[in-house]
């Protein structure tokens, strides 16, 4: 133990010399973590309040299993992308290309199924063809992510620009491949099972999205991969000096978000049984909004998958609730926009408090 | 993590000021005739540096004398244009910091290089994480409990009181952050720890604590190379002092034989002891 001549003013900011007293700082830390204004706990509280309000106003409709199911189905494709986006944003990066990569992967999947199917269309294709097509979709997404990651990590072009370029290029390529016309010859078996079927009461889409989120949470919180992700977002130069291969890790992170965008493309294809070329221009902003709402810091180094799940659900729940209550759903945009700005403001305040000397 | 059964060093006093003096101990780290040029600027013009086992040696010099560049070369952060670096008498090349780390040479950077959003234990093990045994480990799952326990022990051994090792280091005080960075370096260093201006950003009390930590590190038999501007502090804690001026070593002193005036004279060129070709 280091003993210091105790002049109150000098020791005040450094209470370390007293020792013992393990529980009080522990409590303070808990308070600081759970109730720091942008933490997942807060945003979860917001979600609970929203659900409670709608449930009180229209208990029968809002809590009907149909609405709950549709809320989760609508959220699942976004959630898969948001899991990847969480990793990217924790490294203090961004990926604006997710929606376009989703479309591109769906197009690749359909084209591969068409090429492998016996007839002119893939509608009646069997499981073998479907599986190969889905894997091709994911591979296309992952490859896109690797390409973007390589430019970001090696050529040091800012991720905002690289993925903005990727956003335009992936959609353009999709339109080239389809001549700008949606391919709708999606195998019926795919649409009826993964796309719109259920395992018991649970839709396949929701099951897959939740499995992805749980795996993502485990990887982020408990593995070396997750720790490097946090470290790079926290201090990339410091991480480099400790021997972490920062470039290679960034490449992997962008590959992961690409892969998950590819999986989202497969799920979207299965659900809508068409490539939905024109419907994903705003996915990037939707997903980024969800991740930030969930308490992941745009400045990197902080984030959680639980928060991301909540962040995905809030806009979807608002949407569904407003319809049921009979308010124009346009208000959803207003509400989410305001909460988003508040969340980032709170994050900035937190950073300012933390970086005190 | 290397074990720290400090070899009870019976005060192996390093050689006196003149390099010709018969040294009882071989240098643990030595750089000779190191040249580094940035564009038209000659940062190091044949600089040399010697560190002996178990000592605190201060590297001082005016701004632009080449201290930082020399430390970067000796810690693997910079590759010299020419010159030799020897660790325990064997010539080595240090293309990157991990190469130096593998030889037991660690650095506490002036900016600390900490991941401020991670806690103390995560920072101590950053880049050298412990994994769970078995399948989980092969999946890359961290053994957080083991790392936390080892880190707590490392802090304890240095007399660093973190109170709560679970908070992000960004929310710690400057002195505590410095302590985490030092603890990380010491936990992995088996031979030499470089400390670049470790007290420059600290208040009086915290400076005292860091100086205390430096002494404890030395007492474990690990050489501490202290880069500092603070002459009285250097005289207080260093066993030896090496002076750089204009990219060369110009003097070496034993701390108990000189005063601030001698150091300033050497730094400014009023006194030239060696290498002055």
- The phi, psi pair for B253, rounded to 5°, reads -130, 155
Looking at residues A264-283, what average pLDDT do you find?
A: 94
pLDDT at A246: 95
DSSP bridge pairs for B38: B41
Range in A270-274, B75-79, B86-90 the model is least confident about: B75-79
pLDDT of residue B141: 95
pLDDT at B12 (0 to 100): 41
Residue A339 or residue A272, greater confidence: A272
Distances (CA, A) of B97 to A239, A242, B94, B102: 11, 7, 7, 9
Whether the CB-CB separation of B161 and B83 falls below 8 Å is answered with: no
- Summarised one tens digit per residue, pLDDT across range A282-299 is 999 999 999 999 989 999
CA A262, chain centre distance (Å): 13
Is the minimum CB–CB distance between A168 and chain B shorter than 8 Å? no
Contact B117 A230 (CB under 8 A): yes
Q: State how far the Cα of A269 lies from the Cα of A189, in Å rounded to an integer.
A: 12
Tens of pLDDT, residues A244-262: 999 999 999 999 999 999 9
Nearest C-alpha of chain B: how many angstroms from A12? 11
Average pLDDT over residues B218-236: 90
Nearest CB among A237, A244, A354 relative to B170 is that of A354
Contact B115 A234 (CB under 8 A): yes
As given in the structure block, the two tokens for residue B10 are 């019976």
Q: Average pLDDT in the A187-206 region?
A: 92
Q: Return the structure tokens found at B134.
A: 């078995």
Q: Which fold has domain A38-354?
A: ABC transporter involved in vitamin B12 uptake, BtuC (1.10.3470)
Pair of tokens at residue A259: 């892969």
**ipTM of the complex in this document:** 0.81
**CA A189 to CA A338: how far, in whole Å?**
42
Structural domains in chain B, sorted by start = 29-104+189-268 (3.40.50.300)
Report the chain B residue with the minimal C-alpha distance to residue A225. B140
Range name among A301-315, B42-56, B259-273 with the lowest pLDDT average: B259-273
pLDDT band at A357 (very low <50, low <70, confident <90, very high): very low
Going B244 to B245 to B246 to B249, the CA torsion angle's sign is negative
The domain limits of chain A are 38-354
Distance from CA of B68 to the nearest CA of A (A): 15
Using CB atoms, which residue from B139, B141, B161 is nearest to A17? B161
Distances in Å between the Cα of A338 and the Cα atoms of A41, A258, A307, A328, A345 are 18, 29, 18, 17, 11
pLDDT in tens, B148-203: 999 988 888 877 777 677 789 988 888 888 889 988 998 899 999 999 988 887 88
Q: Which of A178, A227, A241, A165 is nearest to B108 (CA)?
A: A241
Closest residue in B to A246 (Cα–Cα) = B127
pLDDT band at residue B120 under the 50/70/90 scheme: very high
Taking CA–CA distances from B124, the nearest residue in chain A reads A242
Lowest average pLDDT, out of A173-182, A338-347, B210-219, goes to A338-347
Give me the residue from B118, B163, B209 closest to A231, CB to CB: B118
Residue A325's pLDDT band (cuts 50, 70, 90): confident
Residues of chain A contacting B128 with CB distance shorter than 8 Å: 242-243
So what's the pLDDT on residue B8?
Answer: 42
User: In the prediction, which pLDDT does A37 show?
Assistant: 43
Position A352 scores a pLDDT of: 74
**Contact between B116 and A234 using a beta-carbon 8 Å cutoff:** yes
Percent of chain A with pLDDT over 90: 61
Size of interface A-B (CB pairs under 8 A): 123
Indicate yes or no: CB of B126 within 8 angstroms of CB of A239.
yes
Per-residue pLDDT reduced to its tens digit, B237-270: 999 999 999 999 999 999 988 888 889 888 888 7
Q: Which helix (H) or strand (E) holds A172?
A: helix A159-178
Average pLDDT value for residue range A173-181: 95
Can you give the pLDDT at residue B94? Answer: 92
Q: Provide the shortest C-alpha distance from residue B126 to chain A (in Å).
A: 7
Residue of A110, A95, A163, A135 lying closest to A275 (CA atoms):
A110
Q: Does A302 touch chain B (CB under 8 A)?
A: yes
Chain A residues in contact with B126 by the CB 8 A cut-off are 227, 231, 238-239, 242, 244
Flag whether pLDDT at A22 surpasses 50: no
Is A253:A162 a contact under the CB 8 Å cutoff?
no
d(CA A352, nearest CA chain B) in Å = 10
Supply the pLDDT for residue B225. Answer: 96
> Could A238 and B139 be called an inter-chain contact, meaning their C-beta atoms sit closer than 8 Å?
no
Partners of A1 on chain B (C-beta within 8 Å) are 159, 161
Band of pLDDT at residue A21, cut at 50, 70 and 90: very low
Say whether B208 and A4 touch across the interface (CB within 8 A): yes
Task: Please give the pLDDT value at position A118.
Answer: 80
Q: Can you read off the two tokens belonging to residue A215?
A: 């795996």
CA distances to A33, A194, A258, A335 from A350, in Å: 10, 42, 31, 22
Which of B113, B116, B164 shows the shortest C-beta gap to A26?
A: B164
């Amino acid at each position: 133990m280091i003993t210091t001549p105790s002049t109150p003013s000098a020791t005040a900011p450094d209470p370390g010399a007293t020792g013992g007293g393990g529980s009080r700082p522990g409590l303070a830390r808990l308070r600081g973590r759970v109730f720091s204004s942008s933490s997942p706990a807060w945003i979860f509280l917001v979600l609970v309040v929203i659900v409670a309000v709608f449930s009180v106003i229209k208990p029968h409709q809002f809590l009907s299993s149909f609405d709950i199911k549709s809320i989760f189905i609508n959220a699942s494709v976004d959630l898969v992308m948001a899991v990847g986006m969480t990793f990217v944003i924790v490294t203090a990066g961004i990926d604006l290309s997710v929606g376009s990569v989703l479309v591109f992967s769906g197009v690749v999947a359909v084209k591969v199924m068409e090429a492998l199917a016996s007839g002119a269309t893939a509608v009646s294709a069997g499981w073998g063809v479907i599986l190969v097509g889905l894997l091709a979709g994911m591979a296309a997404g992952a490859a896109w992510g690797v390409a973007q990651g390589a430019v970001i990590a090696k050529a040091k072009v800012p991720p905002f620009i690289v993925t903005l370029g990727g956003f335009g290029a992936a959609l353009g390529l999709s339109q080239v491949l389809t001549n700008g016309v949606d391919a709708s010859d999606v195998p019926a078996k795919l649409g009826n099972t993964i796309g719109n079927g259920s395992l018991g009461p649970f839709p396949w889409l929701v099951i897959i999205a939740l499995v992805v989120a749980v795996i993502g949470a485990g990887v982020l919180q408990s593995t070396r991969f997750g720790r490097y992700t946090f470290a790079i977002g926290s201090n990339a130069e410091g991480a480099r000096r400790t021997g972490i291969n920062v470039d290679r890790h960034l490449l992997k992170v962008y590959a992961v978000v690409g892969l998950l965008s590819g999986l989202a493309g497969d799920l979207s294809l299965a659900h809508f049984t068409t490539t939905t070329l024109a419907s994903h221009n705003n996915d990037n902003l939707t997903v980024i909004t969800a991740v930030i709402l969930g308490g992941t810091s745009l400045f990197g180094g902080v984030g959680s998958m639980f928060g991301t799940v909540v962040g995905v659900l809030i806009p979807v729940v608002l949407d569904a609730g407003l319809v049921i209550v009979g308010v124009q759903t346009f208000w959803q945009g207003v509400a989410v926009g305001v909460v988003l700005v508040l969340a980032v403001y709170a994050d900035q305040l937190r950073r300012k408090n933390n970086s005190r000397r | 993590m290397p074990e720290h059964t400090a070899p009870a060093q019976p005060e192996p006093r390093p050689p006196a000021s003149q390099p010709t003096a018969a040294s009882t101990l071989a240098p643990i780290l030595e750089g000779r005739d190191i040249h580094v040029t940035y564009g038209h600027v000659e940062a190091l013009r044949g600089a040399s540096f010697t560190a002996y086992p178990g000592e605190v040696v201060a590297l001082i010099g005016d701004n632009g004398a080449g201290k930082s560049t020399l430390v970067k070369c000796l810690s693997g952060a910079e590759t010299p244009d020419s010159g030799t670096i020897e660790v325990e008498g064997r010539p080595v090349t240090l293309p990157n910091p991990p190469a130096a780390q593998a030889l037991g040479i660690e650095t506490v950077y002036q900016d600390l290089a900490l991941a401020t959003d991670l806690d103390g234990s995560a920072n101590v093990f950053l880049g050298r994480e412990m994994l769970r045994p078995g399948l989980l480990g092969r999946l890359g799952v961290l053994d957080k409990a083991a790392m936390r326990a080892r880190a707590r022990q490392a802090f304890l051994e240095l007399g660093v009181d973190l109170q709560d090792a679970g908070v992000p280091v960004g929310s710690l005080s400057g002195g505590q952050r410095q302590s985490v960075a030092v603890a990380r370096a010491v936990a992995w260093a088996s031979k030499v720890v470089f400390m670049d201006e470790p007290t420059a950003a600290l208040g009086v009390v915290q400076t005292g604590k860091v100086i205390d930590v430096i002494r404890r590190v030395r007492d474990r038999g690990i050489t501490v190379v202290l880069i500092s501007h603070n002459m009285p502090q250097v005289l207080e804690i260093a066993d030896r002092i090496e002076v750089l001026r204009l990219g060369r070593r110009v003097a070496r002193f034993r701390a108990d034989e000189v005063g601030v005036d001698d150091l300033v004279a050497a730094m400014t060129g009023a006194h030239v002891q060696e290498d002055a070709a």
